[in-house]
Amino acid sequence: MKLYYAPGACSLADHIALIESKLPFTTDKVDLKARTTAEGEDYTAVNPKGYVPALGLDAGGVLTENVAILGYIADRVGNLMPQGPLGRFRALEALAYISTELHKSFAPFFKPGSSDEAKSAAKTQLGKRFGLFEDALASQEFALGDQFGVADCYLFVMLFWAREKVGLDLPPNLSSYYERLSQRAAIQQALAEEGLGD
């Protein structure tokens, strides 16, 4: 597999998940402005959507969208989503929430020319949407229970942005969760490989 990523973008979630999965993979860094990759590919030919992430599959073809890529990785290994008959649906439920309710709420912080008003409204919305995980983390170690999984990979990136891009003060449970995850080997490795380590 080959992960197409941009440093510190949402593709960091997939990068972390791939390291956690211990499946073999390579990476290719995408220049999102030029739409080319470090290995010299035309990125629009890889992913006509033009954005990261994209995952080149061993059997051929390319998978896009964080929810699908993270779900695919979790399905391949089985230990990155909750167990039980509803486990994969709990993972999809969390990934969909993170994608649509958290990830998209960061838009004003990435879009050039966004007004202070739009940023302030987004900050308020993010604070509310993170509340679901703040409450859950009062009684469990990870986003979906006591086992690390793909939802944590994605939630980590949202918290990384909340700290780095928005300057959001994280409530106590999320703050200690973020500090714990920051010490995790796969997360440190992914950050270092993207040039974002300490």
Ligand X SMILES: N[C@@H](CCC(=O)N[C@@H](CS)C(=O)NCC(=O)O)C(=O)O
Three-state SS string over 72-107 comes to HHHHHHCCCCCCCCCHHHHHHHHHHHHHHHHHHHHH
In the complex, least distance from residue 83 CB atom to ligand X, rounded to whole angstroms: 25
Per CB under 6 A, 41 contacts ligand X = no
Per CB under 6 A, 66 contacts ligand X = yes
Of 48-56, 84-92, 131-139, 148-156, which part binds ligand X (CB under 6 A)? 48-56
Which of 52, 74, 81, 102 binds ligand X (CB under 6 A)? It is: 52
**Phi, psi of 48, deg, nearest 5:** -60, -20
In the complex, least distance from residue 67 CB atom to ligand X, rounded to whole angstroms: 6
Of 49-57, 114-122, 134-142, 174-182, which part binds ligand X (CB under 6 A)? 49-57
Query: Of 89 and 110, which has the nearer Cβ to ligand X?
Result: 110
- CB-CB contact of 75 with 91 (8 Å): no
- Least Cα distance to 128 among 88, 99, 85, 171 occurs for 171
Residue type for 131, please?
Answer: G
In the complex, least distance from residue 151 CB atom to ligand X, rounded to whole angstroms: 14
Q: For ligand X, what does the binding mask look like between residues 80 and 119, x meaning CB under 6 A?
A: -------------------x--------------------
CB under 8 Å to 177, separation ≥6 — which residues? 133, 137, 141, 142, 159
- CB-CB contact of 4 with 28 (8 Å): yes
Query: Of 37 and 99, which has the nearer Cβ to ligand X?
Result: 99
C-alpha span between 132 and 129 (Å, rounded): 6
Residues 5-24 interacting with ligand X (rule: CB under 6 A): 9-10
Task: List residues near ligand X by CB under 6 A.
Answer: 9-10, 32, 50-53, 65-66, 99
